[in-house]
Amino acid sequence: MTGEFRFGVNMVVPDSRAAWVGKCRKVEDLGYDVLSAADHLGMAPPFPALVLAGEVTSRVKLNTFVLNAPFYNPVLLAREVTGTDQFTDGRLELGLGAGYVKEEFEAAGMPFPSARERVDHLERTILGLKRLYADPEHKPAPVRPEGPPLLLGGRGDRILTLAAEHADIIGFTGTAKTADGAPLGLATSEDIEERIGFVRSKLGDRDAEFNLLVHFVNVTEDRKAGLEDLEKLVGGQQSLAQLAELPTALVGSPAEVAEQLHAHRERFGLTYYTVLEQNMDQFAPVLEALR
């Protein structure tokens, strides 16, 4: 056990059946709590990938991280969600977002809606799913009457307000505000703290788990050199001192990263972290350090 923390791996590399099965088993064997499937063109289809992951694992939760809601009709999505929930014995966590990659809409032959329109669709999706979960005539039925736990991810005021109202898990992106459809920038720790404070102001009496996608992992005995390498990688977007306190950059020995996670929990309330597939091996010693 890793205390009050949870850790997930976001799988982003499509592969053969055998290779996918091996990777899924490895996620569980390394001690992670959640196995996630990303939703981008060129990656594995999320629902089949999670059903297969569920067949070859026994413990990890299975998460869509996160579905591009505007790509889905809410009624058809409900069938995929409840069917996957059934086939994985209730291990599904449903992650939803509003979508942000303009090129993927273009590749799919779809217009790129405005940010407002995308969040409107996300809201309709959430409400539609809740309505269908509660409908005794809806088949397949969800394992729990309220449906699988909902993760909503994003950074804008409207989507975070929706998350505060509806989500069991609120996913913070660690990205800075940019023009709609433009490449994402790197948020500072102050940016992330402000977004978390915004959510807290909207939550009221509700409880929610706070998730963060970790962009950079470097488990090394030389933390200073690791941070200097990261400073070069991000092209001076942030100083060495800023990177040292950034929760989306976990750099140092396993013990040092564990210490950072405790500090981030104290400052930000973050208890659920997701690392990218390419970082799952090197991050695994941190799980051991936390036990």
pTM greater than 0.85: yes
CA distance 274 to 8: 4
2 pLDDT band, cuts 50/70/90, is low
Indicate the SS3 state at residue 250. Answer: strand
Strands 216-219 and 249-252: parallel
| Percent of the chain at pLDDT exceeding 70 | 97
**How many CB atoms within 10 Å of residue 85?**
24
Over 80: is that where the pLDDT of 182 sits? no
**Interval 41-47 mean pLDDT:** 97
Q: Over range 195-206, report the average pLDDT.
A: 96
Q: Which of 219, 242, 193 is nearest to 289 (CA)?
A: 219
pLDDT for 165: 98
Model confidence pLDDT, tens digit, residues 164-175: 999 999 999 988
Rounded-to-integer distance, Cα 105 and Cα 107, Å: 5
pLDDT at 41 exceeding the cut of 50 = yes
Over residues 206-264, the pLDDT tens digits come to 999 999 999 999 999 999 999 999 999 999 889 999 999 999 999 999 999 999 999 99
pLDDT score at 121: 98
Q: Which residues in 112-243 belong to E strands, given as ranges?
A: 150-154, 169-172, 175-176, 185-186, 209-214, 216-219
**Residue 217 burial by CB count (10 A; 0-12/13-18/19+): exposed, middle or buried?**
buried
What is the structure's pLDDT at 183? Answer: 67
Provide mean pLDDT across the span 2-13: 91
**Residue 214's CB: how many other CB atoms inside 10 A?**
20
**Taking all residues of the chain, what is their mean pLDDT, rounded to a whole number?**
96
Q: Which residue has the tokens 């709609």?
A: 180
Q: What is the pLDDT of residue 3?
A: 64
SS3 211: strand
